[in-house]
Amino acid sequence: MEIVHTSVLLQECLSYLAPDKPDSLMIDGTLGEGGHSEAFLAAFPELRVIGIDADVRIQARARERLAPFGDRICFYPGWSDDFFREYPVDAKRPDRILIDLGISLFHYEKSGRGFSFRSDEPLDMRLDPQTERSAADIVNTLGETDLANLIYELGEERYSRRIARAIVEARKASRFSTSKALAEAVYHAVPADYRHGRIHPATRTFQALRIAVNRELDRLPGLLDLALSTLAPEGKFGVITFHSLEDRIVKNFFRDASKSCICPPEVPICRCRGRAIVEVLTKKALSPTEEEISRNSPSRSARLRVVRKIAYGDERL
């Protein structure tokens, strides 16, 4: 089987999340093609892994890839937040959790769902085909102001208003149905000098639509909370991010969970009786080495943050 995606920060994940007991259970919350899980299963022969992915097509590829590990790996088809929400109270709790928030290269190159503007594909972008709205639905129905706000807030695109105006004008003549048509509309909407920058001018617009379609930022805070609650005391939790919007959410969540007091600054004496839930193991997010970036250029924006859950007796936090 051809492996399309190269897992990022692999050695860093293996180092920080190495199990410290023989019967450890790890949750790979974003399985993809199974690269991280394969590395952990190969490095730690007694480790068991549960792999989660909302995309059944890419999970099928992971099943084939990880078949040699037999019953040490099992699979959950669905969203990670749903998995942790439904996690049985009396089940063995995971000692390690890894969530890689990046989109697999498989989706850009092989899925045929319009994640990339390099191919002319249906404008879909849904990881789970059961998701209600596709990218085409958003592009063809959202009002100009709402569309501009979406592109600005989720794509951090400074020309969001010009792009939204061009999209709304163009769709009067013909509905957007392909990634190529949308990319061309964005390309012609921005100033000439912006078209030849470091990245394609449609990059941020496509990012915004993908995030909106799959509700990536909406799901993230709840996912982090549910995963941390499920994690066993003394367990470790790692999250890989790829852009500032999601990294900010992860950074703030881990920072707040590491505080012993959450009272407002104006309160002179602690009244919350709070306590730290985690110890932050990566004071600064880990970035890929220059060597990794040279081998796998999409890794350049990856950041890894890891925490250890603090034990307070046997209670579930």
203-214 helix and 179-189 helix, angle to the nearest 10 degrees = 130
**Binned average pLDDT, 10 residues per bin, the chain of 317 residues:** 78 96 94 95 97 93 95 96 94 97 85 88 93 96 98 97 98 96 96 88 96 96 97 97 95 92 68 79 95 90 96 50
Phi, psi (5° rounding) for residue 257? -70, -20
CA–CA distance, 205 with 221 (Å, rounded to integer): 23
CA neighbours closer than 13 Å in the CB half-sphere of residue 123: 20
Burial class (CB in 10 A: 0-12, 13-18, 19+), 23: exposed
* Per-residue model confidence (pLDDT) at position 317: 46
CA–CA distance, 119 with 273 (Å, rounded to integer): 55
Query: Can you give the residue ranges of every domain in the chain?
Result: 10-100+220-309, 108-214
| SS3 of 121-145 | CECCCCCCCCCCCCHHHHHHHCCHH
* Per-residue model confidence (pLDDT) at position 316: 43
* Per-residue model confidence (pLDDT) at position 87: 96
* Per-residue model confidence (pLDDT) at position 3: 64
167-199 pLDDT tens trace = 999 999 999 999 999 999 999 999 999 998 788
* Per-residue model confidence (pLDDT) at position 313: 41
* Per-residue model confidence (pLDDT) at position 4: 63
Burial class (CB in 10 A: 0-12, 13-18, 19+), 219: middle
* Per-residue model confidence (pLDDT) at position 314: 43
Is 15 strand, coil or helix? helix
Q: In the CATH scheme, what is the code of domain 10-100+220-309?
A: 3.40.50.150
CA angle 117, 120, 125 (to 5 degrees): 60
CA–CA distance, 220 with 87 (Å, rounded to integer): 17
Q: Are 306 and 282 contacting, i.e. CB atoms less than 8 angstroms apart?
A: yes
- Checking DSSP bridges between strand 25-28 and strand 48-53, what pairing results, if any? parallel
78-114 pLDDT tens trace = 999 999 999 998 999 999 999 999 888 888 888 889 9
Confidence (pTM): 0.90
In CATH terms, the superfamily for domain 108-214 is Putative methyltransferase TM0872, insert domain (1.10.150.170)
CA–CA distance, 38 with 55 (Å, rounded to integer): 18
